[in-house]
Amino acid sequence: MATDIGREATPARMILHLDLDAFFAAVEQRDKPSLRGKPVIVGGTGGRGVVATASYEARVFGARSAMPTSEARRRCPAGTAFLAGRFGAYRATSAVVMELLRELSDLVEQVSIDEAYVHIAASDHDLSAAGLTTLGRELQSRVTEATGGLTAAVGIASSKMMAKIASELDKPGGLSVIEPGSELEVLHPMPVRALAGVGPATGAKLHTLGVETVADLAAADRDVLTSVFGSAHGTGLYALARAQDDRVVVSERAAKSISAEETFASDVVDRRVLDAELNRLVDKVTARLTSSAAFAKTVTLKIRWHDFTTVTRSASLPYATGDPSVLRREADRLMQAVDVTGGLRLLGMGVAGLTDHAQDELALFDTVIGAEAAEPVEAAPSAVISPDLAGRPVAGRWITGLDVHHDEHGDGWVWGSGRGVVTVRFEGPNTAPGRIRSFDASDPALSLAEPPDWRESRA
């Protein structure tokens, strides 16, 4: 293939897509050896929590990202671990992987905490199928080595679209190289839903047109597609079916702000309706913040009154946070100050001042995704009292999965808590599976700890 590429005036683009397998759960299994090979769910553990991810062992029972945790509890067997997230540990692991990718190329586009595109330049790499396969395999083993055992799915192809499809062909742990010229061979037998841009609604509409596979879509008339889906979406589908995707790899960290807005069909004066709408916008924005693993310092409200006057109001927090409830409270506060008597035509909410790390180690609680202890500990010791971002102290909780240190017994993690008792399993990434012990929740010898460093050599 290298010779084919060499004949072209501009060499074919080659893009690598990497996505870590069951990322949050894999980090938990690395740091908690007793959970290796077991079903693990990471996510909100409280009443209304949702699953962030499930280990492949838990997926066997049907647990999936975005499923209510209560449903995952019903599906998974006894002995399944339900853990709140430890974003600090995920971030540190992600950073190591992104660094490895930057060794391959200057052009790395990180699209989420565990996923990136890399532009593979002909001047630096052998772009033959064999050369790319070697490159992919070596990268996978470097990732596993550097992360203390995580695995990655890797796809290499001539466009972002095909590279991502390639990485998904053989998850977990797979490597697929799609040679230039063979894109349609791979793509056409796939169901249309495999295409990014074909969601449930589009899929259902295509089904009524008799379109099931990408090949069916490729055979569909362009005019039919644009009349059914509108000009932009129809043309997009037409291009996707032909594997036409010329999006470039953009190395700069993407958005520096995230926002969402809603224009109303008629002016809205009812504060309850506006509050509900604001809630929805906050959900949308904070979900995107979480999925880009970012933290925000500034909350912005955008208001357009009935007379089209448009203003933005913003408030800045002392620390960058990823905590949806803090961002919601700030947005609500800004909203309360808005005069809505004449009616609003548009409402928008956004966050800015994005950083990729929390600026205060005590913000630990803000970075735990949807963390809610199943049972609050009555007598919270001072060690788990986290200052609320507005300066108001909130009662801390021993949340399942968090890293702790005991003066006498050493490092471990919260295995469970409630009724004034906290149970800790004493183990770490480089130890054998450890023992569990229970303590009074106010035991002064017990404190929250930093995530363990998997790179520290075994004692």
Q: If you write DSSP's letter for every residue of 45-59 in order, what string do you get?
A: -STT-BEEEE-HHHH
> Using CB under 6 A, which of 5, 13, 18, 19 touches ligand TTP?
19
Residue 64 interacts with ligand TTP (CB under 6 A): yes or no: no
Contact 28, 10 (CB under 8 A): no
Binding to Mg ion in span 10-39, by CB under 5 A: 19-20, 23
In the complex with Mg ion, the residue whose CB is nearer, 19 or 109, is: 19
Amino acid at 361: E
In the complex with ligand TTP, the residue whose CB is nearer, 56 or 229, is: 56
- What residue has token string 């409830």? 325
Amino acid at 190: M
Q: How far is the CB of 77 from ligand TTP (least distance, A)?
A: 20
Q: Which residues contact 377 (CB under 8 A, 6 or more apart)?
A: 384, 397, 398, 417, 418, 420, 422, 441
Cα→Cα distances 399→28, 358, 369, 406, Å = 14, 19, 11, 16
Contact 258, 289 (CB under 8 A): yes
Cα→Cα distances 257→204, 277, 354, Å = 33, 20, 6
In the complex with ligand TTP, the residue whose CB is nearer, 334 or 369, is: 369
Q: Which does 24 bind (CB under 5 to 8 A by kind): ligand TTP, Mg ion, none?
A: ligand TTP
Q: Which does 359 bind (CB under 5 to 8 A by kind): Mg ion, ligand TTP, none?
A: none
Binding to ligand TTP in span 87-116, by CB under 6 A: 113-115
Residue 20 interacts with ligand TTP (CB under 6 A): yes or no: yes
In the complex with ligand TTP, the residue whose CB is nearer, 51 or 384, is: 51
Binding to ligand TTP in span 257-296, by CB under 6 A: 290
Q: How far is the CB of 125 from ligand TTP (least distance, A)?
A: 25
In the complex with ligand TTP, the residue whose CB is nearer, 173 or 230, is: 173
Contact 220, 209 (CB under 8 A): yes
Binding to ligand TTP in span 368-387, by CB under 6 A: 369
Q: State the number of binding residues for ligand TTP (CB under 6 A).
A: 17
Q: How far is the CB of 255 from ligand TTP (least distance, A)?
A: 17
Question: Is 115 one of the annotated active-site residues of the chain?
Answer: yes
Between strands 258-268 and 344-352, the pairing is antiparallel
Considering only 18-26, 183-191, 278-286, 324-332, which stretch makes contact with ligand TTP by CB under 6 A?
18-26
Binding to ligand TTP in span 33-62, by CB under 6 A: 52-53
Q: Which does 383 bind (CB under 5 to 8 A by kind): Mg ion, ligand TTP, none?
A: none
Catalytic residue, chosen from 109, 115, 183, 277, is 115
Binding to ligand TTP in span 115-144, by CB under 6 A: 115
H-run or E-run covering 449: none
What's 402's DSSP letter?
-
CA-angle at 431, arms to 447 and 94, nearest 5°: 75
Identify the CA nearest to 49 among candidates 86, 91, 85.
85
Burial of 79 (0-12, 13-18, 19+ CB in 10 A): exposed
Q: Which does 394 bind (CB under 5 to 8 A by kind): ligand TTP, Mg ion, none?
A: none
Q: Which residues contact 407 (CB under 8 A, 6 or more apart)?
A: 445, 446
Q: Which does 104 bind (CB under 5 to 8 A by kind): ligand TTP, Mg ion, none?
A: none
22 dihedral zone (left: phi>0; alpha: psi -120 to 50; beta):
left
Q: How far is the CB of 115 from Mg ion (least distance, A)?
A: 6
Binding mask 106-145 for Mg ion (x = CB under 5 A): --------x-------------------------------
Contact 82, 370 (CB under 8 A): no
Residue 323 interacts with ligand TTP (CB under 6 A): yes or no: no
Partners of 411 in beta bridges? 405
In the complex with ligand TTP, the residue whose CB is nearer, 66 or 395, is: 66
In the complex with ligand TTP, the residue whose CB is nearer, 21 or 31, is: 21
Contact 84, 401 (CB under 8 A): yes
Q: Which does 66 bind (CB under 5 to 8 A by kind): Mg ion, ligand TTP, none?
A: ligand TTP
Cα→Cα distances 260→265, 309, 332, Å = 17, 19, 15
Question: Hey, which bits of 146-279 come out as E strands?
Answer: 152-157, 175-177, 258-268
Q: Which does 436 bind (CB under 5 to 8 A by kind): ligand TTP, Mg ion, none?
A: none
Structure tokens at 391: 């300066």
- Catalytic residue set: 115
Binding residues for ligand TTP (CB under 6 A):
19-24, 52-53, 65-66, 113-115, 171-172, 290, 369
Binding residues for Mg ion (CB under 5 A):
19-20, 23, 114
